[in-house]
Chains A and B, each alone.
Chain A
Amino acid sequence: MTRIKRGYIARRRRKKISLFASSFRGAHSILTRTITQQRIRALVSAYRDRDRKKRDFRRLWITRINAVIRGVGVSYSYSRLIHNLYKKQLLLNRKILAQIAISNRNCLYMISNEIRK
């Protein structure tokens, strides 16, 4: 067989991978073997967390709405608010409710009072 040097093939491949990991911390952006491993871990995390992100944000919105709604009165809570929303068939989702809670608390109180009747 003729002799074939590997030459620059490996270097080209690793350059692409190290471009991905160029902003990692410490040895994770410098050493080639760790770069390959860390890139794989980063992509796995990204894949898993794209679905987690939807769950996490919904949790956050629910916590925030709960925090504001409990200030309405005695024994009023997020669960009762959502029950009333569904009864009156109001289509506001939790993201919008949380934004309203942050920016304009009185507006949320008005909505909840309207729904309660």
Chain B
Amino acid sequence: MSSNPSLTTMKRTVEQLKLEASVERIKVSQAAADLQQYCLQNAGKDALLFGVPIGSKLFREPRSCALLFIQLSDDAYISISKN
């Protein structure tokens, strides 16, 4: 076994290439179909694709709300809220 460093490096390169060459590959059509299926199956949950669900307004600006009470008579009031 040679102690030449560049020869050792070259041997390692060849071993690595052998490993990578032995990978079992599927067809691109199969790979593409699987990726599409994943995307479409999960699209419903993707808030960035179709919008944040109506009930969840986590990042929407907090709204200030002022309530005005207007007295109509001694015991009747109506309230008006301003968003």
| A and B from one complex | no
Chain A: residues with CB nearer than 8 A to chain B?
none
Residues of B at the A interface (CB closer than 8 Å) are none
